[in-house]
Structure 1
Amino acid sequence: MEEIKKFLVSEEEEGDRLDVYLSNQLGDMSRSYVQKIIKDQKVKINSKVEKSKYLVKESDEIEVEIPAPKVLEVIPQDIPIDIVYEDKDFLIVNKKQGMVVHPAPGNYENTLVNAVLYHCEDKLSSINGIIRPGIVHRIDKDTSGLLMIAKNNNSHNFLAEQLKDHSITREYEFICHGVVKEDKITVDKPIGRNPKDRLKMAVVKDGKRAVTHFEVIERFENFTHVRATLETGRTHQIRVHSLYINHPLLGDPLYGPKNSKFKLDGQTLHARKLGFIHPTTKEYVEFNSELPDYFQDIIAKLK
């Protein structure tokens, strides 16, 4: 059964593109998916069909017909995963470095989603469709650490709303090049696609607001161990903001120096802490993850 959702545009939201407005309203549903349902004429503004670039106006009445989720086509795979916590609403997974979070065209196997599908069977939210069942947020392939996976649509929406409100505790640790002089630094700079290299993100004037709080844990010769707390969650946010302050992450293949004396498979970045309001109990819960062996080995060598 398809689902019908209705929205009324407020004064503050006037001027947003239709696809941007609906992406914000529909939680973690991808903008490309929103654009598809607009193109398929599943969206009406004041009973009329409009295009994605339509600029919404105050008091516009928007009706969205969300198609029934398709049967999952991504195959479950018996891949070992480190489950930190699980209940009927969600599970917390400690993702290892090198594991892709969800399938993409040309790569439909050996991802975290394949593993979670095997573990949870059909008990995953369907909001993000075939490719990303249960996925509320992502971390990069070469970033290790904590991720939450929603097991039903209610919990998915509840968790996604907290992400949207920037109320989730997300704390990371990393090692960067250079000695960071300040004990604490807050970077409040917008991030968007790098106009010179579409594979990269960058600090750009017309990007989305991004705020990262950095705190030095320990200084070494030529390197620093840093804690980063995210206030927003933009693509590559920590990596881009670290580069912005001239301290790129050790091992970062996109934003860091090409040569390193350490043999690394990617950036030394670990999602250490995750905290949020539980969808059912409405109480704050928090989860922690130890630094992975490769990370601890580097620290030992630096000492």
Structure 2
Amino acid sequence: MTTEDISPMLQVADIDLEESQQLYEHFRFEVDKGQVPVRIDKFMFEKLQHSSRNRIQKAAEAGFVHVNDKPVKSNYKVRPGDIVTLMLDRPHYDTTIEPEDIPLDVVYEDDELMVINKPAGLVVHPGCGNFHGTLVNAIAWHLRNLPSYDPNDPQVGLVHRIDKDTSGLIVVAKTPEAKTSLGVQFFNKTTHRSYNALVWGNFVEDSGTITGNIGRDPKDRLRMAVFPPESETGKPAVTHYKVMERFGYVTLVECILETGRTHQIRAHMKHIGHPLFSDERYGGTEILRGERSGSYRQFVINGFKLCPRQVLHAKTLGFVHPRTKKQMDFTSELPEDMSSLLEKWRRYVPSVTNE
């Protein structure tokens, strides 16, 4: 179980720990030899990505945070060699991936790999409250008659991921050799990926590059933030963008990733003042540009309803085939919610111009 799976379980307020209560280990970490003394709630907060310090403190108060097999309070300072464990009153959730009959839009498939056009709203991988109904469960069903494919084997399966509410292309490896080859290509940045995004605001320039480290936002652990490239916070990230169509108050852009960080396009665009349209987590569900009229406000609200997710689509994907060594390039059409929204903006812009 990953730290992302564990942290939602820290809902331990108002729980009293009884001596007879059976506890189950959910998290274990040996403190590094070079670790300086630090409060255990801070230490665990840095390890459990989707948790909060307050939840960790309540877990400690309930007796669920242990060091060297003994419960400690949240002000305990960890020391080199300490064994830190999170002990909860319920067993691990079974994260075994089971096949589920979920429709897949398979763009391409052969003995080594498959390329899928993922719809918006479909979670890619189980975790954080989404243990069923994911793309991985759907792939397991699609390949259920392939004896060599084990959905629980990390040597096969998804090579990269896209957000739940992002649509578009994703590649799956059927063999360990294919996953290794594709993984190396992603690591070496030799793959080709482009996204279409509708963002708030107009651009002075027709193209540009956003450079800035991406890491967890200290104020919101579910969101990513951008830090200076020379800082030690976050991981380096580079996004190239090009204007495709201007609508005055919003702009359709093509984004090409040089790196593949979590929420990279969403965080980078927010950083330069152009949040993705309808992206609630990054402020895109506010009316950030345009008129003050009630009719315009209603127009934008209707747009949010038409496409109630960040307007982002993984449109193209290119890589070298692991076996044939030939270049493979794929393009997917924009999904209906996104294309309908763009048409709505196209009709609105001339009406404003003619007034």
Q: What TM-score range do you get, normalising by the shorter chain?
A: 0.7 to 0.9
Match of 2:343 in 1: 300
Deviation of 1:265 after TM superposition, in Å, equals 2.4
The number of residue pairs the alignment matches comes to: 242
Match of 2:186 in 1: 163
Corresponding residue to 2:333 among 279, 286, 290: 290
Deviation of 1:126 after TM superposition, in Å, equals 6.0
* Pairs within 5 Å for 1:44-59: 53=32
Match of 2:267 in 1: 240
Q: SS of the residue aligned with 1:200? A: strand
* Pairs within 5 Å for 1:165-180: 165-180=188-203
**Cα distance in 2, alignment partners of residues 128 and 209 from structure 1:** 29
Residues 118, 54 of structure 1: CA spacing in aligned structure 2 closer, same or farther, 3 A cutoff? farther
Answer whether contact 1:128 1:135 (CA < 8 A) is retained. no
Answer whether contact 2:165 2:310 (CA < 8 A) is retained. yes
Answering whether residue 220 of structure 2 is matched by residue 200 of structure 1, we say no
TM superposition score normalised by structure 1: 0.74
Corresponding residue to 2:314 among 261, 267, 271: 271
Match of 1:109 in 2: 132
**Cα distance in 2, alignment partners of residues 257 and 171 from structure 1:** 21
Match of 1:78 in 2: 101
Residues 265, 128 of structure 1: CA spacing in aligned structure 2 closer, same or farther, 3 A cutoff? farther
Answer whether contact 2:116 2:170 (CA < 8 A) is retained. yes
**Cα distance in 2, alignment partners of residues 278 and 142 from structure 1:** 28
Q: SS of the residue aligned with 2:343? A: helix
Residues 79, 184 of structure 1: CA spacing in aligned structure 2 closer, same or farther, 3 A cutoff? same
Q: SS of the residue aligned with 1:141? A: coil
Answer whether contact 2:95 2:131 (CA < 8 A) is retained. no
Corresponding residue to 2:171 among 148, 151, 173: 148
Match of 1:23 in 2: none
Answering whether residue 323 of structure 2 is matched by residue 280 of structure 1, we say yes
**Cα distance in 1, alignment partners of residues 206 and 167 from structure 2:** 24
Residues 257, 105 of structure 1: CA spacing in aligned structure 2 closer, same or farther, 3 A cutoff? closer
**Where does structure 1 lack aligned partners over 5 or more consecutive residues?**
1-29, 33-38, 41-50, 56-70
Answer whether contact 1:125 1:156 (CA < 8 A) is retained. no
Deviation of 1:257 after TM superposition, in Å, equals 3.3
Answer whether contact 1:113 1:133 (CA < 8 A) is retained. no
Task: Report the residue type matching 1:285 in the other structure.
Answer: M
Answer whether contact 1:179 1:223 (CA < 8 A) is retained. yes
Residues 154, 240 of structure 1: CA spacing in aligned structure 2 closer, same or farther, 3 A cutoff? same
- What are the Cα deviations for residues 163-207 of structure 1, in whole angstroms up to 9, with x where unaligned? 111111010001001112210010111111111211110112321
Q: SS of the residue aligned with 1:198? A: strand
- What are the Cα deviations for residues 136-172 of structure 1, in whole angstroms up to 9, with x where unaligned? 1100000000000111111111111111111110100
- What are the Cα deviations for residues 78-119 of structure 1, in whole angstroms up to 9, with x where unaligned? 111100000111100000010000111532211111111000
Q: Percent identity?
A: 44
Residues 54, 272 of structure 1: CA spacing in aligned structure 2 closer, same or farther, 3 A cutoff? farther
Bigger fraction of residues in helix: 2
Residues 172, 105 of structure 1: CA spacing in aligned structure 2 closer, same or farther, 3 A cutoff? closer
**Cα distance in 2, alignment partners of residues 283 and 158 from structure 1:** 13
**Cα distance in 1, alignment partners of residues 31 and 316 from structure 2:** 37
**Cα distance in 1, alignment partners of residues 265 and 222 from structure 2:** 16
Deviation of 1:53 after TM superposition, in Å, equals 4.5
Deviation of 1:285 after TM superposition, in Å, equals 0.7
Match of 1:183 in 2: 206
- Give 1 or 2 for the bigger CA radius of gyration: 2
Residues 173, 92 of structure 1: CA spacing in aligned structure 2 closer, same or farther, 3 A cutoff? same
Residues 233, 53 of structure 1: CA spacing in aligned structure 2 closer, same or farther, 3 A cutoff? farther
**Where does structure 2 lack aligned partners over 5 or more consecutive residues?**
5-27, 35-93, 287-299, 347-355
**Cα distance in 2, alignment partners of residues 53 and 282 from structure 1:** 43
Corresponding residue to 2:257 among 219, 223, 230: 230
TM superposition score normalised by structure 2: 0.64
**Cα distance in 1, alignment partners of residues 187 and 32 from structure 2:** 22
